Structure 1
Amino acid sequence: MTKTIEERLFRAPYLQPEPGSDRPLTVLCSLLSRADNTPLAERRRADGHVLDHAGNVIDDPAADAAANAFEGNPNLNFEHWCEYWRKVHGVRFIHAEEPDDRSLERLLRYDQLHRFAPGPTHTDAPPYRAPVDDEGKLWPTVVGHIEAYRRPRWDGIAYLNFAGPEDITVVLGNARVREKILPEDQAIFRDIAPVLSRQYVIVPSTNGNEAVTLVKLHVRNPAVGREAFQQWWLREHAPLAVAQSKGWVRRYVQLHNIGPTEPGQPLYHPQASGIDGVTLMGCASINDLEDFLRSPEHKAITEDEARMTDPAAGEWWTIIGMVLVNRIAPERATDVGA
């Protein structure tokens, strides 16, 4: 009989957290896509990922969906992946096998940010509109009037917080992770795009557990350098965003990409390298987020972002956050001079 280990909870009230610092943390913001049978022309596949039942890489994931070792039924793939990522992979990742393994203590926070398909996205944002005929009447059938679904590039984010870059090596370089978690990644993830970031907490969380978060992936205007964009974003745009989002946004974080830009460098990813920053704006509910996105205040924020970004190159979507590890409470605003 297989022995199971009960999940340990590394967050309040199951452990005593410590107050956060006003120094920027180092964050590994890994954009994830699930191991599915999407054609290679539509979604990138990382080397060595998407395996068959013998553990070999599938040459063409679209050729035979049943060959997928993770989930061979395309109708179940997305929901099975969401469940497995939280209930199995997340538990495996934070399970220390040896009593003297203290590497996980270097992990200050770990959230799984699951893309919420019914939530607002850059391709379908509120106000939503019912399809009607030229006279404003509802069609008697939806057949023939259903728009094609425009899926965002990513299915979720693994959000890992560390005091500094050296702690990433301690946690992810652990033998348990190398030998047992990374092989699992190859079976359940189609692609992993790590955005190594310096985190600035603009509006700290009061409870460390916002239900809904707006994720924005920013790509700067090509005429602007990355450092210049990030300085503008932090020192000029952030105060405007704070003033315009009061009443809706409970947590506001900027993740400044400090990762590699050239192939061959550690943590390099061709898509992650083109992202200059990631916004996380936490809200209490989907309704609050939808109201915020419909507001003139959000319009002012997006108009200001458009001054220094390439909106067509970025994207945004809604996530449901699940906190697996949080050793920080209360969270503090980052000293932007740090």
Structure 2
Amino acid sequence: MNIVVLGLSLSSSWGNGHATTYRALLSALSERGHNILFLERDQPWYAGQRDLKNPDFCRLRYYDSVADLDEWKDPVGLADLVIVGSYVPDGIEVGRWVQQQARGITAFYDIDTPVTLAALERGTCDYVTPALIAGYDVYLSFTGGPTLTRIEEQFGSPCARALYCSVDTARYRPVDVPKRWDLSYLGTYSEDRQPGLDRYLLNAAIVLPDRRFVIAGSQYPDHISWPDNVERIEHLPPADHAEFYSASRFTLNLTRADMVAAGWSPSVRLFEAAACGTAIISDRWKGIGSLFAPEEEILLVERGDDILAALDRDPEPIGRRARAKILRAHGADQRARQLEEILEMLPLAAGNARPAKAAAW
């Protein structure tokens, strides 16, 4: 296929989880023979923090405004598949433009499904509308379970399917480094995740002053008081993720409130840590047991004291089994195959073409 993706960012992983998601999926699609063009809005925030300037798996191009997209009319019109991602700047206008120009399949890829649906309920979502959802041929959702029915019945999608995040297992794998930390956390500051970080990691750091902890991520407020045994890393580029996880006995997974409420909403960090063979301690939400077997492939906590018992467990067998699950079910190649299967089964709108072997663009 010829595929065009208009996403939040491919070039910069600074302060967002979209970039690593796109990198893994698009790299796997490229390996499977598809031609890919990624169009990214040129924004100062990401322009100053680019950690992937020349990807070898797709063409990466920038545009300054929705009007500038007219330069890409022909590739979009000729594409077998055009994907518009969540949180794209001026995403409503971008989506309208895509639906006007594209003659192949159009898809909305929601990397933030529960957040999106909550904003739609409030009438405050600035990157997609119910009318646009009805106009996309397929809604690819980071959330599975009952939410997919809701997207179809309440918001008018003709076809909603789960396409969870995935991980590039060639880049995320165990690295032979000494263990530096007993518990790590990798994530940008989020107001609704911070209580979990306080309850689990910071509480454990206070109770266990001889243990070592680390938090990697940007945008944390200056007023937060970090215990002396908690190391801070402002930004950790994806190239360093595998070593970071491999240096951790356990790593903590925290989930945003909207995603906990929806369930079936795994974050990319969950899969990346597991791919590195690192034992994960996670908050509990519906659907997590369908991804990893509790107590065998992941440890789940609900109260602050639960973390103390979890840290006394042997992390090696847990991490080993979690990595095996990733290799079976959640690698980027499996996700690329899943996308192909979704498209093959899609009830296409009149005038759209069934995906076929890509011709010269």
TM-score (norm. length: structure 2): 0.25
Tell me: higher relative CO, structure 1 or 2? Use CA pairs within 8 A at least 6 residues apart. 1
Give the structure with the higher percent helix.
Answer: 2
TM-score (norm 1): 0.27
Give the structure with the higher percent strand. Answer: 1
